[in-house]
Amino acid sequence: MDGVKIRARTPTVSEDERCALYHLVKEKRNARTKHISHLQTTEGTELTSNSDCIKEVETFFKSLYSASPTSVTETDTLLKHVNRHLNLQQQRDLQLPITEEEILMVIETAPKNTAPGPDGLTYQLYKIHWTLIKDTLVELFNYIFDSGIVVEGFSDGIVILLPKVIQPRTVSDYRPITLLNTDYKLFMKILANRLKPTFRDIFEIGQTCSVPDKSIIHNLVTIRDTILHYEEFPDEKAALLSIDFNKAFDRMNHLYLQRVMKHFCIPDKIVNVVGSLCDSAHSKIQVNGFFTKRISIASSVRQGCPLSMCLFAIGIEPLIRMSHDILQTGRATCSMFTIRVYADDVVILLRDEEECTKLPQILQTYSNASCAQINTQKSSLVPLGNWPVTHTVNYIPIKREAKILGITVCASFKEMVDINWSITSARTRASIFQHIHRTLNLFERIWHINVFCLSKLWYVAQILPLPTKYSTVLDRAISFYVWKGYFYKLPKTQLHLPTTKGGLQLIAVKEKSQALLTRNILRAKQDESDPMDNKFWQKHIPLLCSKTTILPQSLKMIWEAIESYSPTIATNDKNQDTKIIYTHLMKKNVQIPRIVEKFPNQRWRNIWRNMHMANIPNAWKTTVYCYLNQIIPTEEKRHRHNLTDSPACKNVDGQTH
């Protein structure tokens, strides 16, 4: 049964948790997901045998990873728009010898339980035997870093295929993830840690992936504020164009990437070692437990490599700069954004038909230089304001709704809120009820809800306000899961309290969502690194406080709440901690436990603190907590509800207690 729990690959809540129906179902589902029973070729032929599927996969990836010709002329055209470079001090810092401290930091911060590469070694082995291998690792990494000579097999990998759709039919419906050797990942992570701090200086507004103090949320906030702007001014016209690149990471040309790195003045030492690692890269594709032949990776920044996001961000930056320079011409003092990118997710705001004629040439130039291919059918254009519903770019379909960075985007803010929260709340409820058959006690259920189940909400909560109807639905699902099997229950307001006050620190969904959204509004108002968001909120805050505003009531309520905060919260810097805002909101819902009101003279703070000592098992804590709060169903309580014939104890002394 322990093997079932391991193959289920579910987060461990308790070490002594018994295998349940949930683990069996999970194991079977994981096995079905990994198994490829049939494939369809480009000619439409159905393949069902294992050997035919392996051959089809091998042929597909040999073609995908082969080197395609790149245009030097088009590359030069792109690079003319890139004007930022590393300074001399940054170049010197990047070339410093790799130290023991750098390697140790990467090992200590490495994720647990990650799948190993071809050598079968995990991060855990490096942590345990660090004192024995540290000198060898330092010597090996500096040898590769200085000479650019890569040891045979160092950059080899195993590619596993994960389905991107519910019912994959062709090889392109699978996402290739490369399992790499741990020493290779350590080396590439060190390079990534050195490069990331420089991105703040060499990347201009547009890219948020791997840039310090930027995240995917910045792009979504900008898109949300753009939709609000065009709802306020419906006579203006614009369109959100979401561009999808087909196998974006796998088609990145190595020669193009090296030229862009040199243009940014990244030292030749790093460019050469990255080039050597790319040139020596080979992978085998795993299909139903079997491997294809060894395939040379002549193009691609491999998904699974710690440096892949940084390399792709460098490679797509010329497209961002060229788009910004050409499309921004003629916009004068317009405060709206031009292009926002997170890795390969590109969103462009088109303002008129003339920009629709300029954009295809920009995209073609980038495609010729980097070997990228636009997936027209997966790209989409969402009209805003007074945009002509028949006008598009490169035959990209016009859609009323489009999925951008995991959020469904449409022209109506109210509809956008309702669609996203209906989907997110349904998925969260489904996730909660999936775990209903696990043998967890009260403390473990609360911890599981906080850490795993509710984590699906916070991404959307940072962008869109949570409607009351969905918070109510989620509270009911949480209550059902937490109290399953209990006859007597406690009010949820007590569970939300800190452990020192008699609660269990269950996260309040409504208040946490409001705190996340508030933090991002404060950041947008005060963050001058993104002029579009900053100007939007500086302009609309006075309108939010007026009765004539046409902006959503939900955002007006958020700002009214912000105004009620103390100056230390409302005027704090852009790095405002969500916890401070959440604590402030929770003060409005203070609940004194009933047992404390009943026996106010007891030293309850000491009792609660002692009960939560780290060396006490969760099962014991649950029993004591239920006993203290008088929710254990004694015979006397059951008699009150006509569940037993007598209030007397049947097991011990026959007395009523």
Asked if pLDDT for residue 495 goes beyond 60, the answer is yes
How far apart CA 409 and CA 227 sit, in angstroms, is: 9
Instruction: List, in sequence order, every residue forming a beta bridge with 381; answer none if it has no partner.
Output: 241, 398
**Predicted confidence (pLDDT) per residue in 409-426, tens digit:** 999 999 999 999 999 999
How much is the pLDDT for 574? Answer: 46
Mean pLDDT of 48-65: 92
How much is the pLDDT for 12? Answer: 66
How much is the pLDDT for 541? Answer: 58
Structure-block tokens of residue 202: 């060499």
Dihedral sign for Cα 132, 134, 137, 142, please.
negative
**Predicted confidence (pLDDT) per residue in 208-218, tens digit:** 998 988 889 98
Please report, in angstroms and rounded to a whole number, the separation of the first and last CA atoms in the chain.
41
> Which pLDDT band holds residue 566 (cuts at 50, 70, 90)?
low
Per the model's pLDDT, the better-predicted residue between 377 and 543 turns out to be 377
Burial class (CB in 10 A: 0-12, 13-18, 19+), 390: exposed
How far apart CA 383 and CA 350 sit, in angstroms, is: 9
Structure-block tokens of residue 172: 């392109």
Reduce the DSSP state of residue 407 to 3 states and report it: strand
Which segment of 19-23, 201-205, 245-249 scores lowest on mean pLDDT? 19-23
**Predicted confidence (pLDDT) per residue in 339-388, tens digit:** 999 989 999 999 888 889 999 999 999 999 999 999 998 999 999 989 98
User: Could you please report the per-residue DSSP string of 510-551?
Assistant: HHHHHHHHHHHHHHHHH-TTSHHHHHHHHHHHHHHTSTT--S
How much is the pLDDT for 8? Answer: 63
Share of the chain above pLDDT 70, in %: 85
Structure-block tokens of residue 409: 């985007």
Asked if pLDDT for residue 550 goes beyond 70, the answer is no
Mean pLDDT of 74-90: 94
Structure-block tokens of residue 613: 């000592």
CA distances in angstroms from 418 to 54, 337, 410, 540, listed in the order given: 44, 25, 11, 23
How much is the pLDDT for 258? Answer: 95
Mean pLDDT of 288-310: 92
Q: Where are the beta strands (DSSP E) in 46-127?
A: 46-47
pTM for this prediction = 0.87
Q: Which residue, among 360, 337, 113, has the nearest Cα to 230 in the 3D structure?
A: 337
Which segment of 2-6, 261-265, 396-400 scores lowest on mean pLDDT? 2-6
Contact between 106 and 189 under an 8 Å Cβ cutoff? The reply is yes
Structure-block tokens of residue 508: 């309040």
Residues 6+ apart with CB under 8 A from 488: 630, 631, 632, 633, 637
Give the phi and the psi of residue 253 in degrees, each rounded to 5. Answer: -75, 130
Structure-block tokens of residue 53: 């599927």
Asked if pLDDT for residue 254 goes beyond 50, the answer is yes
How much is the pLDDT for 306? Answer: 93
Strands 174-180 and 156-163: antiparallel
Dihedral sign for Cα 531, 536, 537, 538, please.
positive
Structure-block tokens of residue 300: 């691609």
How far apart CA 448 and CA 432 sit, in angstroms, is: 9
Q: Which residue, among 511, 504, 491, 494, has the nearest Cα to 591 in the 3D structure?
A: 494
Instruction: List, in sequence order, every residue forming a beta bridge with 409; answer none if it has no partner.
Output: 402
How much is the pLDDT for 575? Answer: 47
- Residue in this structure with the two tokens 């007598």, named with its chain if needed: 646
Asked if pLDDT for residue 554 goes beyond 70, the answer is no
Amino acid present at 80:
K
> Which pLDDT band holds residue 205 (cuts at 50, 70, 90)?
confident
Mean pLDDT of 236-258: 93
Asked if pLDDT for residue 3 goes beyond 70, the answer is no
Integer-rounded Cα radius of gyration of the chain: 28
Amino acid present at 522:
L
Q: Which residue, among 497, 526, 118, has the nearest Cα to 304 in the 3D structure?
A: 118
**Predicted confidence (pLDDT) per residue in 112-163, tens digit:** 778 889 989 989 899 999 999 999 999 999 999 999 898 888 999 999 998 8
Burial class (CB in 10 A: 0-12, 13-18, 19+), 279: middle
Mean pLDDT of 558-585: 65
**Predicted confidence (pLDDT) per residue in 219-240, tens digit:** 998 899 889 888 888 888 899 9
Contact between 161 and 175 under an 8 Å Cβ cutoff? The reply is yes
Mean pLDDT of 472-485: 92
Q: Average pLDDT of the chain? A: 86
> Which pLDDT band holds residue 435 (cuts at 50, 70, 90)?
confident
Contact between 357 and 392 under an 8 Å Cβ cutoff? The reply is no
